[in-house]
Amino acid sequence: MILVFFYLLGLLRWFFGDDTQSASFVETGVIPWFTYPLMLGILGLLALLTIRYLGDILPNSAVVLLLISIPFFFLVGRTISYVDLHFILTGFWEKRMFLYIFVFVSVLAPIPLVKLIQANRSRKVFTIVGLSVFISLIVVSGFSSLALQSEFWFLHSRLSLINDEVIQGVDFLKKILQQETHAFTITPSSSSYYIADFAVPPYQFWPPQISVFSKYPDISLLSLNSYHLTHAYIFMRANDFNILRGQESWFGGHLLPLLPVVFSNNNVTIYNATHVTYPNSNSETTLVIPSDPTIVPEDSWFYAYDVISQGNLNYTVKYDNDHTALKSKNVILSFDPPKGNTRDIYYKFGHPNSWRIISGSWKFLEDGLHGGDLSSGVSKIILSPISSKNFTINTLLRIHDISPNAGNYASITYSWINPANYKAAEVAIWKEKVYVSFITANEGELSRDTPWPGTLTNLSWKPDTVFNMTFSTKGNLVELAVNDTRLLHENQNSNSGYVGLGYGRIRDVVFDHFQITHPAPLNPRDSSDYISYVKSGGNILVENFL
């Protein structure tokens, strides 16, 4: 009765407790004691009732063996968990022992039911058949679970077999580590970690997720300098690249493409990671990075990390708006400070980026962003990732081919909310003459500041003519200049929205670049602060890799 009491107590502990998640069993392999009743269910309770019949069971040595096996595997599992948690990872887990416990419980559980049949004096056929079927299901379920789990382990182990190419990679790594006794290894996955063990490295970084999936360099640089060993070799299998794909990490997106490959075949790639230093909390040199990551692309100031860390410098990393950023003796700027708290973003077209196509046909080619098709639509738009209200935009465009019998349009789109609500500064080509106008789309209805085709200019169009468009908005004032001549200006109720480019009816227009200058929302440190720092005796080195 005491065992039954604790069995039911375990069920109540699990039911009313909210601090246990089954996912933790898979990760750690440890099974809390109170979840055994939950996992064994009614079979475990029936097996406990078997103890009532010990007098009949003890003469049968086979049944005694079953009884002893259950606490034996339970104690073995608990011992494995204790050693794994407090001493060393054994490579075995308590959760593996549970399956054997379940098998023996399934064999013992029918005994109380058999005794019930024997005590049933009525011996009705229906009752006997029903209990017999139930007993058979209990026993078969236990052995079938063991068979299915064994088959799973067999198939899974075959998938994890080390093929010849992986063995070649391990042998190569082992020879290197025999010569470089103070080098260590990093692997992106636990399976590669265990395979790299065969190369007998003096140290393997664990857990790899901390280093591999970190978005910024600091933690990864710390792992590459583990225990101040000389340097790391990165052991990558083909599946490891799939793990990194789609992850926004410094390790996979920036570091690996820069590292030299010392071994490679179809299944294994080994990189030689140069010795690096990692950021410290205090030093005489401070690497200043932008507080607003949109001031410059992240991958540009990542290179500043590369130069400093591979130069074995003792350095600290701080954001530019940190009040202590200019307190050290030396400052390394990873970007050009914006002037007047504005940011200048320059997109040089030629490869796909984070721009979003709303409508039309757009292609990123080597000579720029191409737009154009043969449709009659007058508004085909592609948007940048930037949303702003006060800004200046500049772009160079070349119109290669037009529709000769219709108006042709190229535009800078702004205040874009949705396809039915936006504004645009437009250049129109009609019979080789150039017109300009401001366009407003309000709930799908287009309107112009002047009658179509717009305000006539002294410009004309010929194939491959280059137009330098500059559009600016400040408060309610908007202005459009073409080829450095201001052609339009007016007051508008402009709203904040996305900015981008557009075309209409043009067969082929090429935008060379897109440059936008607008206030930085996080108010980065003004450039005058750096000038004052130098005048007071500080040293500044600018490492801008744009």
Q: 115-129, 259-273, 410-424, 514-528: lowest mean pLDDT where?
A: 115-129
Positive or negative CA dihedral for 201, 206, 212, 217?
Answer: negative
The answer to the question of residue 530 being in a domain is no
Residue-level pLDDT at 69: 79
Q: 544 with 334: CB under 8 angstroms?
A: yes
- Residues 197 and 146 reside in one and the same domain: no
- Residues 68 and 135 reside in one and the same domain: yes
pLDDT digits over 509-519, tens only? 999 989 888 77
The answer to the question of residue 524 being in a domain is no
- Residues 239 and 367 reside in one and the same domain: no
- Residues 103 and 225 reside in one and the same domain: no
pLDDT digits over 223-242, tens only? 999 888 999 999 999 889 88
Which of the pair, 320 or 100, is modelled with greater confidence? 320
Domain count, the chain: 4
Last residue of a domain, one of 159, 193, 211: 159
Give me 122's structure tokens.
């009525």
pLDDT of 305 over the 80 cut: yes
- Residues 194 and 326 reside in one and the same domain: no
| Distance separating alpha carbons of residues 95 and 115, to the nearest angstrom | 32
Does the model's pTM come out above 0.75? no
Give the structural domain span for 310. 285-338
Residue-level pLDDT at 247: 76
The answer to the question of residue 42 being in a domain is yes
pLDDT digits over 8-66, tens only? 666 666 566 655 555 555 556 677 766 766 666 666 667 777 767 666 666 666 667 76
The answer to the question of residue 478 being in a domain is yes
Q: 439 with 424: CB under 8 angstroms?
A: yes
- Residues 296 and 169 reside in one and the same domain: no
- Residues 84 and 34 reside in one and the same domain: yes
- Residues 252 and 325 reside in one and the same domain: no
The answer to the question of residue 208 being in a domain is yes
Question: Taking the CB of residue 144, how many other CB atoms lie within 10 A of it?
Answer: 13
- Residues 425 and 480 reside in one and the same domain: yes
- Residues 256 and 305 reside in one and the same domain: no
pLDDT digits over 415-470, tens only? 999 999 999 999 999 988 999 999 999 988 889 988 998 999 999 988 888 999 99
| Distance separating alpha carbons of residues 137 and 131, to the nearest angstrom | 10
The answer to the question of residue 278 being in a domain is no
- Residues 68 and 120 reside in one and the same domain: yes
The answer to the question of residue 373 being in a domain is yes
Residue-level pLDDT at 268: 95
Which of the pair, 543 or 55, is modelled with greater confidence? 543
pLDDT-based confidence at residue 373 (cuts at 50, 70, 90): confident
Both ends of the chain: CA-CA distance in Å?
76
| Distance separating alpha carbons of residues 15 and 26, to the nearest angstrom | 20
